[in-house]
Amino acid sequence: MVPDLPLNEVVAEKALRIFKRLRVPDLIGTPTYGEICEDWVFDFVRAIFGCYDPVLKARMIREFFLLVPKKNGKSAIAAAIIVTAAIMNERPMAELLLIAPTQAISAIVFNQAKGIVKLDPDLVAVFHIKDHVKQIVHRETEAVIMIVSADGDVVTGSKATYIVVDETHVLAAKEKAREIFIEIRGGLSARPEGFILQITTQSKKRPAGQFKKELDKARRVRDGELQLPVLAVLYELPREVAKDNGWKDENLWGLVNPNLERSVSLGYLRDELRTAEEDGPDALALFASQHLNVEIGEGLVQDRWVGAVYWPKSIEPDLTVERLFDRCEVVVAGIDGGGLDDLLGMSFVGRLKGRTGWLSWSRAWAHEIVLERRKEIAPELRDLESAGELTLCSYETQDIEELVALIAQANDAGLLPAKAAVGLDPEGVAQIVDALYDAGLTEDQLRSVSQGYRLNGAIKGTERKLFDGSLKHADQGLMTWCVGNAKTEARGNAVVVTKAVSGSAKIDPVMSLFNGVTLMSLGPEAAGKSVYGERGALVV
């Protein structure tokens, strides 16, 4: 996993000797890291320290990203690397920052680093341990190891030379994660010998915000798409292998668990999988993400909407709303929204000229209150706003005004049918209805679409059309996210997708798509033309 790099062998071997000599304080017999670690750890340690040029006093690789599942020794490795860095450090009064995901884990990591020092008489003479502030100070250089928590204000004007982030997905989910990483990287600019090491499992939720950016960058570097001084070591299955529960094949587990049968056993993973299967889809998703690095939203099919399986295969490249209007002979709109802490979703569904298939394009709006009440999805919403697929409204009526303007554009182009042109969830749409009337739509053009089990036909119809390729959609992260959130339950012979079933995850744009499919299934004709103009009247 670690490529053959042109390392400074003297420095690399010195660091590795130090690392191997350190003792593990929380294992019976306190063995050395050299005795309990696998070769992949040694390769990684050599790369981190061996890319240093002692003449230039600079590190050729400044950032390291290790993605490895739980129970593969992440926190223990992080503690040993930060101690090794303090021993190898040449800068007077250098700061070494180890960021743990929580207060509790920061205490564990500090005890790990403290235990490493206390088990070696030579290190006891070199370091002074300050328990009350979770700091370990080098007596000669006055370099200080600081163990801090992602729960608090981690970085303010960082001057750290060496930074180790334990569980990046936790830190990167914080509201100010972007600013924190800017501070961290900015502090390194004046310290060319320093490095940032991120050690993490996969996120417990769909990657979003700063974690998504960090992970995407690491993947692009690994895949050769991006040239940066970053070493990315990612223990994850290829997406085509992981999808559709392919990750359940235990023959693959050793590929992503490099410490299998050392710090984590096959039997333990089997038991955890059985327990997760009993506890339901959320537990199963958590098992897959934490023990096999399967990204949430990929590779998990239990209880999710069947259409999600075919969604990625049904993309229409470069489809915009303008191109949908140009290519379609008739267009309908579906709308779904809720309270102010929900999204307002709108989907156009258009029938191609010549009746060769359907196209869909969606958009969503949200108010700032969502970011406060749904902090867990705030990074995702920010990403979608940056992509231009979701609007975070700056004033009260912006969402309704922009939604109505889009529908009015289709109506003015003669694409909407004279009847049943706009399908709405009947709950809480009074303002939208009034605005549509003001924009020139008629009462006949608005249709209330019953929800719950009555939407079964549209749900299954959408699945079928995605399966056979007769429904194509725009390549939008908004819908990929919402489709992944959609969960189903059986009610009699019907399949139901509701917000209650899907939990706090947002599915409003998906529901708007189902509303649009309901109307398009009626076989509408655009108000601007008649079918008889093309084929003539049929006389029986």
| Position 471 pLDDT exceeds 80 | yes
| Position 312 pLDDT exceeds 50 | yes
The whole-angstrom separation of Cα 147 and Cα 244 is 40
The whole-angstrom separation of Cα 312 and Cα 162 is 41
The whole-angstrom separation of Cα 106 and Cα 317 is 46
| Position 280 pLDDT exceeds 90 | no
What percentage of residues in the chain have a pLDDT greater than 90? 67
Q: Which residue did the predictor score with more confidence, 205 or 510?
A: 510
Q: Which residue did the predictor score with more confidence, 171 or 348?
A: 348
Domains of the chain by start residue, with CATH: 9-235 (3.40.50.300), 241-292 (no CATH), 307-520 (3.30.420.240)
Query: What is the token pair recorded at 17?
Result: 């000797």
Residue 208 DSSP SS3: coil
The whole-angstrom separation of Cα 471 and Cα 447 is 22
Residue 98 · residue 85 · CB < 8 Å? no
Q: How much is the mean pLDDT over the chain? A: 89
Q: Which residues contact 430 (CB under 8 A, 6 or more apart)?
A: none
Residue 118 · residue 25 · CB < 8 Å? yes
pLDDT at 206: 75
The closest alpha carbon to 360, from 382, 338, 334, belongs to 334
Tell me the whole-structure pTM to 2 decimals. 0.70
Average pLDDT over residues 482-498: 75
The whole-angstrom separation of Cα 360 and Cα 479 is 11
Give me the amino acid identity at 141.
T
Strand bridging mode 471-474 / 58-59: unpaired
Provide the 8-state DSSP code for 294. P
Name the least confident of 11-25, 91-105, 175-189, 473-487: 175-189
pLDDT at 529: 53
The whole-angstrom separation of Cα 190 and Cα 163 is 14
* Tens digit of each residue's pLDDT (9 = 90 or more) over 76-112: 999 999 999 999 999 999 999 999 888 888 899 999 9
The whole-angstrom separation of Cα 215 and Cα 332 is 38
Q: What is the DSSP string of 102-168?
A: SHHHHHHHHHHHHHHHHT-HHHHHHEEEEGGGTEEEETTT--EEEEEETTS---SS--EEEEEEESH
pLDDT at 535: 44
- The gap from C-alpha 485 to its chain's centroid, in whole angstroms, comes to 12
| Position 520 pLDDT exceeds 90 | yes
Q: What are phi and psi of 345, to 5 degrees?
A: -110, 145
| pLDDT category of residue 492 using cuts at 50, 70 and 90 | low
The closest alpha carbon to 86, from 134, 13, 136, 125, belongs to 136
| Position 157 pLDDT exceeds 90 | no
Average pLDDT over residues 182-197: 91
Give me the amino acid identity at 432.
I
pLDDT at 306: 83
Residue 369 · residue 341 · CB < 8 Å? yes
Residue 503 · residue 486 · CB < 8 Å? no
Using a 10 angstrom Cβ sphere, with 0-12 exposed, 13-18 middle and 19 or more buried, the burial of residue 185 is middle
| pLDDT category of residue 283 using cuts at 50, 70 and 90 | confident
pLDDT at 155: 62
Using a 10 angstrom Cβ sphere, with 0-12 exposed, 13-18 middle and 19 or more buried, the burial of residue 312 is middle
pLDDT at 196: 97
Beta-ladder partners of 197:
64, 164
| pLDDT category of residue 242 using cuts at 50, 70 and 90 | confident
Average pLDDT over residues 356-361: 96
Give the position of tokens 């990483």: 181
Q: What are phi and psi of 285, to 5 degrees?
A: -65, -40
* Tens digit of each residue's pLDDT (9 = 90 or more) over 34-60: 999 999 999 999 999 999 999 999 999
Number of residues in the chain: 540
The whole-angstrom separation of Cα 132 and Cα 111 is 12
Give the position of tokens 């700032």: 368
| Position 3 pLDDT exceeds 80 | yes
Q: Which residue did the predictor score with more confidence, 298 or 371?
A: 371
Taking CA atoms, 268 is separated from 153, 260, 284, 537, in Å, by 36, 10, 15, 72
Neighbours of 427 (CB within 10 A): 12
Average pLDDT over residues 489-497: 70
